[in-house]
């Protein structure tokens, strides 16, 4: 069993040790040392990083069975006597959040009768899962206030070992299967919380700096509470402050007025979209009327055959349907944009098969595919504008010859 130096002092960042075993983990070299201050992933807290004899430590694993701490390395180490160095910024962040979690969990128990049933700590987020739902904003604020009061009190945080049978009143989230120490390790936040835990903690609550809940989500019959402590809380505040400043500058309003300013923008956008829609419809109606007046007649059919450059295919479909609302109209419309689009439509009183006509026309366009019904058919291909025009001309000849 590796002697875990962080049990007695979580502030040791550098240590000397002897290699007692060399092994490989997933093709990476790894060592077991007689003692270490590297924390292995466990209890919701991720492993430490750092170096051993200058070689980066990529993972730290607590081995099942003998509880050895396995250090996975970026390269093999030849020496038997080594010096380890823990990435202190990462570790201290974990200490702040782990101790913060103890305080937050106890604050939820004290004020809201909500027990912590899960804990997750990673570089992206820190969360606890609570045994109940229905915590409103006022409850969250009360819990935050109590947690920060305990932090500002700068209370001592101590670790001690007790016999499991003497652990009455100690909050134990999950009893370890076998103890790695000569008793149950108890973390005591003076006159506030006593919890069994094998993690790394700060020695006074003031070192946590502050604690802020940033999000509460309902998860079935539980609540997931995301929070930040210390440097992460400061960084989060910095990012959000910058964001709010950018938004208030862009919208020329105060922070309190942001929700209303955004609401006003959304409302005016909705009005403009609806105005734009009716203006477009009006333009299409006028365009359709103009085209119908100028259209040549073949027997009882008025024929409109037109190729547009770079126009929205959906708009062409609308134009075709506008045109064919008038009796006796055939509309052969094309768009030569990135792809060549064709829309063939006829009025309900006519009988010509637009789908058959379209299939014929698509045959002269590269990659031409499409379909539809007798009254309306559409298709597209990769063909050139010249191919599109030729296809329209051919269709026009068929209609005018009928």
Q: Which residues bind Zn ion (CB under 5 A)?
A: 98, 197, 199
CA distance 7 to 185: 9
Please report the DSSP string for 171-215 in residue order.
Answer: B-SS--SS-SSSSEEEEEETTTEEEE--S---SBGGGG--EEEEE
In angstroms, rounded to a whole number, what is the distance separating the alpha carbons of residues 398 and 137?
72
What is the closest distance, in whole angstroms, from the C-beta atom of residue 42 to Zn ion in the complex?
11
Write the burial class of residue 394 (CB in 10 Å: 0-12 exposed, 13-18 middle, 19+ buried). Answer: middle
Closest distance to Zn ion from the beta carbon of 246 (Å): 38
Nearest-angstrom CA–CA distance, 382 and 137: 57
CB of 180 closer than 8 Å to CB of 67: yes
**Contact status, residue 213 vs residue 144, Cβ threshold 8 Å:** yes
Nearest one of 200, 221, 241 to 37, comparing CA atoms: 200
Which CB, 159 or 357, lies closer to Zn ion?
159
Q: How far is the CB of 193 from Zn ion (least distance, A)?
A: 10
Nearest residue (CB) to Zn ion, 128 versus 303:
128
Per the CB < 8 A criterion, the answer to whether 365 and 383 are in contact is yes
CB of 121 to Zn ion, least distance (A): 10
Q: How far is the CB of 38 from Zn ion (least distance, A)?
A: 17
Q: Which is nearer to Zn ion, 98 or 228 (CB)?
A: 98
Residue number, 40 or 199, with CB nearest to Zn ion:
199
Minimal CB distance to Zn ion: which residue?
197
Closer Cβ to Zn ion, 181 or 242, answer by number: 181
Distance in Å, CB of 112 to Zn ion, minimum: 21
Shortest Å distance, C-beta 214 to Zn ion: 21
Report the residue number, 100 or 383, with the smaller CB distance to Zn ion: 100
SS3 44: coil
- Report residue 173 as tokens: 């989230």
Query: How far, in Å, CA of 102 to CA of 234, rounded?
Result: 20
Nearer to Zn ion, 125 or 248 (CB): 125
How far is the C-alpha of 169 from the C-alpha of 174, rounded, in Å? 14
Nearer to Zn ion, 170 or 253 (CB): 170
> Which is it for the CA torsion 276, 282, 287, 288, positive or negative?
positive
Task: State which residue, 92 or 344, has the beta carbon closest to Zn ion.
Answer: 92
CA distance 225 to 228: 10
Least Å distance between CB 201 and Zn ion? 6
Distance CA 266, CA 96 (A): 41
Nearest distance in Å: CB 103, Zn ion: 10
Asked whether the beta carbons of 32 and 2 are under 8 A apart, the reply is yes
């Amino acid at each position: 069993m590796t002697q875990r130096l962080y049990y007695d002092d979580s502030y040791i960042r550098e240590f000397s040790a002897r290699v007692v075993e060399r092994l490989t983990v997933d093709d990476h070299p790894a060592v077991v040392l007689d003692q270490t201050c590297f924390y292995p992933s466990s209890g919701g807290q991720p492993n430490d990083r750092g170096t051993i004899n200058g070689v980066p430590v990529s993972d730290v694993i607590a081995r099942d069975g003998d509880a050895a701490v396995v250090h996975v390395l970026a390269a093999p180490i030849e020496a038997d006597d080594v010096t380890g160095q823990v990435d202190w910024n990462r570790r201290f962040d974990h200490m702040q959040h782990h101790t913060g979690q103890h305080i937050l969990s106890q604050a939820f128990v004290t004020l809201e009768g909500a027990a912590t049933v899960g804990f997750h700590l990673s570089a992206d987020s820190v969360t606890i899962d609570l045994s109940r739902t229905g915590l409103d904003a006022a409850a969250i604020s009360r819990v935050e206030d109590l947690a920060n009061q305990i932090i500002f009190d700068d209370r001592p945080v101590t670790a001690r070992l007790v016999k499991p049978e003497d652990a009455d009143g100690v909050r134990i989230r999950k009893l370890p299967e076998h103890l790695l120490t000569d008793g149950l390790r108890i973390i005591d936040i003076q006159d506030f919380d006593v919890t069994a835990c094998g993690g790394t903690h700060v020695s006074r609550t003031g070192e946590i700096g502050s604690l802020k809940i940033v999000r509460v989500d309902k998860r079935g019959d539980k609540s997931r509470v995301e929070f930040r402590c210390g440097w992460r809380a400061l960084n989060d505040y910095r990012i959000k402050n910058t964001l709010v400043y950018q938004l208030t500058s862009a919208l020329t309003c105060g922070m309190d007025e942001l929700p209303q300013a955004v609401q006003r923008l959304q409302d005016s956008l909705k009005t403009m979209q609806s105005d734009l829609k009716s203006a477009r419809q009006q333009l299409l109606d006028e365009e359709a009327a103009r085209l119908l007046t100028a259209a040549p007649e073949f027997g009882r059919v008025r024929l409109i055959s037109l190729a547009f450059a770079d126009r929205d295919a959906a708009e062409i479909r609308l134009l075709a349907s506008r045109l064919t609302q008038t009796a006796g109209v055939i509309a052969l419309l094309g768009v030569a944009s990135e792809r060549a689009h064709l829309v063939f439509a006829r009025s309900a009183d006519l009988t010509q098969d637009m789908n058959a006509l379209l299939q014929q026309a698509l045959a002269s366009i590269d990659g031409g595919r499409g379909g539809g019904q007798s009254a309306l058919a559409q298709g597209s291909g990769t063909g050139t504008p010249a191919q599109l025009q030729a296809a329209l001309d051919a269709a026009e000849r068929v209609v005018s010859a009928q």
